[in-house]
Amino acid sequence: YLAPRSGATGLQKLVISAADLHEGEAKFFEYGGSSAVLIKTKGGEMVALSAVCTHLGCIVQWVKEQQHFLCPCHGGQFATDGTVLAGPPPKPLARIPVTVTGGNITIG
């Protein structure tokens, strides 16, 4: 889990250091009382998503080798932008706004 610099509770903004995340990595954190994840894609884009599967609500896992998310419950797969790649999930993972300013990543 990421260690927030501020705004650890509720739907307040979360600010972390961009240096904490490398390309191809994902980090999970608490956002608005549920699980969320921040990804830095291999192309360098920062994306934050709800980590709650849109099928029946299990928490997705990051599969670094394949650069996608896998839901352990029924095999749903999601791309780094949240879109459904395979399995039963009916819709994409919800996106959370991300702003990168200097060395800081602001989520929410």
Sole window of 5-13, 22-30, 39-47, 50-58 interacting with ligand FES (rule: CB under 6 A): 50-58
Beta-carbon count within 10 A of 37 CB = 25
Sole window of 16-24, 38-46, 81-89, 99-107 interacting with ligand FES (rule: CB under 6 A): 81-89
Q: Is the dihedral of CA 78, 83, 84, 90 positive or negative?
A: positive
Contact (CB, 8 A) for 108 and 9 = no
Task: By CB under 6 A, tell whether 89 contacts ligand FES.
Answer: yes
How many Å apart are CA 17 and CA 21, to the nearest integer?
A: 8
Task: By CB under 6 A, tell whether 84 contacts ligand FES.
Answer: no
Task: By CB under 6 A, tell whether 40 contacts ligand FES.
Answer: no
Residues that bind ligand FES (CB under 6 A): 53, 55-58, 71, 73-74, 76, 87-89
